[in-house]
Amino acid sequence: MSFSLSRDFSSSSSLLDAHGWDSGWAADFAPYAAQGLVPGRVIRVDRGQCDVATPDGVVRADTAFVTPHDPLRVVCTGDWAAVDPEGASDPRYVRACLPRRTAFARSTSSKRSEGQILAANVDHAVITVSLAVELDLGRIERFLALAWESGAQPTIVLSKADLVPDPVGLSYLVEDVETIAPGVRVLPVSSTTGEGLDALAATVAGGTTVLLGVSGAGKSTLANVLVGHDVMTVQAARDVDGKGRHTTTTRNLFVLPGGGVLIDTPGLRGVGLWDAETGVGQVFSEIEDLAGNCRFPDCAHEAEPGCAVLAAIDDGTLPVRRLESFRKLLRENQRLVAKTDARLRNEIRKDWKRKGDAGRAAMEFKRSGRVR
């Protein structure tokens, strides 16, 4: 559908600018401007409709025209959209979304292994981890893999830092997380005492930031602090395990007073990988570096002679937990990709057969008393 009126959005309104509009988005939008459509950023999606911030204010629009079969292509909070001009139709519709610069996606718990888009066009991913409970390093590694894969720069916030009053104990917790997060800033933060909030506000001041974490991690409290007033409902976490209820049920985008925008997300019970091999490699970059020194280029780091990764395990420079987590995430990601890739499924079966044959051969050597 086209419209007779067109507007020049190369120099945008202050409302678009506040939501992250720039010359690159204006160039991408030019074909839609020629059709008389209006640009806007999706700030909330629910039940097939969305709220969109346009030059003329926030409008409600239907997403029926851009509901593809691929769940990763549905309209998502953070998308830049082309919307009907006022008076063109009732209801107004989103006619198209601009190509995403980045996208944060995970796999769903569905047996169909579908992907789910959580946020679009994100520059910073703030992974919120509560210090009210014991650190789950494996879960942090999962969040990091998804963040790196999305194209965003991750930051880890250790929330509720006031619950660890001993500075030495807190420093050890920060060090533990820094060890598994190469190249990532780790910030202890307390909404109660104000510790770390200035540093966090400076981090999110430019671009688009998404808040990620499980229920009870303190994301909604942080969102309220960063926005400057209560935009999200906050509920207390259970004392027994530190878990919270889902106070955030949709993804919401807010303009920050210091510049930039913030997307708050519901607490994630499951953090399934979605085609995140590159992200996994980034999280475990020290293992990737070690692998470059293995004798064989296709070394699986299991029992091969000359394996630099296993040598690092033996001399204590690489923790066993770290290698096990690396293997686990790679296997999970490989299985997920294989469900939609017949060629890869066959390769995995051949690899399993090869390893099975090698294992049986090893057992025969042992039974015969021969030395390998």
Looking at per-residue pLDDT, the higher value among 132 and 8 belongs to 132
Whether the pLDDT of residue 369 is over 90: the answer is no
Whole-number pLDDT of residue 9: 64
Whether the pLDDT of residue 324 is over 60: the answer is yes
Averaged pLDDT for residues 305-333: 92
249: left (phi over 0), alpha (psi -120 to 50) or beta: alpha
- What global pTM score does this model have? 0.80
Averaged pLDDT for residues 245-269: 78
Whole-number pLDDT of residue 33: 94
